[in-house]
Each structure stands twice: as structure tokens, then as C-alpha cells.
Structure 1
Amino acid sequence: MYLTREATDRLMAEITGLSARGSAMVSEYFVRVWRNEDVQYDALDEEEKAAWNLLTNVFRYGPVDDNPDKWLASHSWAPTEVTTLTEESRKEGHAIPDDFGRPGANDVWLFSGVQGRSHTRPFEDSA
């Protein structure tokens, strides 16, 4: 995501306020904050370090401290699917970039949710 946690929560509150029960949404955000070790920072040349420093100083991680289940629930949404970029790539037989394929590497949450519904039966009326 390219928003702070606070901005992400405000946006989701606005979306929730405009959504009818049963509305669906999809989103993504990083599993954790990028670290210098993720790109072997010490091996970068000066231009690469400058680019990495710029990127990491301006990038915003949204709700990175929460998994999507918890974050969706905090906004009255129920998750319908939660996976990661790496899991989906493996499942589909696609190559996984080195930045995501190493043990302990960062990843991207991919998820969908339904407003105001249970996970098991998202489009039935709970009333």
C-alpha cells in the first residue's frame, strides 16, 4: 500500500460506510516492512543505495502490523480468501522472484472480504 496505517483505516471506514451488506472487496499489502537485508544492502553500489533509501523513506505500509483477517474484522468485513503472492505463484507454477523466494523474505498479502458477513456463508442474511 502507499498509504499510512491511519490513512488506510480512514479509507476503509469510508468504503465501509458506502458499502451495502454483502459488498465484496479485494486488496493487498506487504506482510512486513522491507529491511536492508532483503536487498543485500551492503552489496549495493551508491546509486542503488540512494534509490533504496529514497524508496524506503517514502513508502507507506498500511496495516502491515495486522494480518488481513484481523484488519478486515476491525472494519466489519469478513475475509473470504487470504493468501500471499508467493503462495499463489507456487500454486500456479510461476517462478518466484528472489526477493520473495528466500527463507524469511518479505511477501505480499492478497485477500478478499465481504462486508458484514461470516466467512463461511458470505451472502446469506445473518438476521
Structure 2
Amino acid sequence: MTKYLISFEKGAMDHIPEADWPEVGKAARAVCDEAKDAGVFVFADGLRYDDGDVQHAVVDVDGVVTDGPYPESKELIGGVLIVDVPMREEALRWAAKTAAACRCAQDVRKFIDGPNNA
């Protein structure tokens, strides 16, 4: 099996009216529950950037820590789902379900076959 990161950019869900958020949350949880039932779920969550608390930092190779915001050139991730599936096509099917639930396009990336992917 291979792990895939299914994600969307920060701000990708900004078009959703506030009144629709409970429905979107329910749909997203349903996709995660379905992935759990299918035995492919690894992890899912959203990332917080705007609650006034420092939620992200950059740690340089010399250990220097710089609290956000990131430089403009960096892509910020809004949310993720990680699935462990046998084929890319299955990861794309999960991404399609996630896109429908979250009402935004999803980016699909394969993790490398490193020591933690066995």
C-alpha cells in the first residue's frame, strides 16, 4: 500500500457561506468515516492560521525559530486527508469524495517510499 496526501490550500473554502459550514463539516466527517470503514484512513484535519495564537513557525537548519507568517512564496495548506491505498486511482477517488464534501479542489501527492512507509 502507498500513502497519499490529499489536501487543499488555505482559503479554498472561503466561498462557503457560514450557514453551510455544519453541512460541510458533516460531509467531510462522513468521508473520513467511510475511509476508516474501508481501512484506508491514516489521518485528517484542518490547519488553523487566524485565531491570534501563533500556530506555525519556520525552524532553520541552525535552529533559529521564526514565527509565522510564512513568506508570500510559500503555499499554505488548509486541510489534509492521508489515505493508504494500493493504487493512485483509489487515492484519486478519495480526493473526489473529499472535493465534493469540502466544496473545493484537492491536491493529491504520493509520499515517498521511506522507512516509515513500510
TM-score of the alignment, normalized to the shorter chain, above 0.5? no
Higher helix share: 1
Structure whose alpha-carbon radius of gyration is higher: 1
Give TM-score scaled by structure 1 length: 0.30
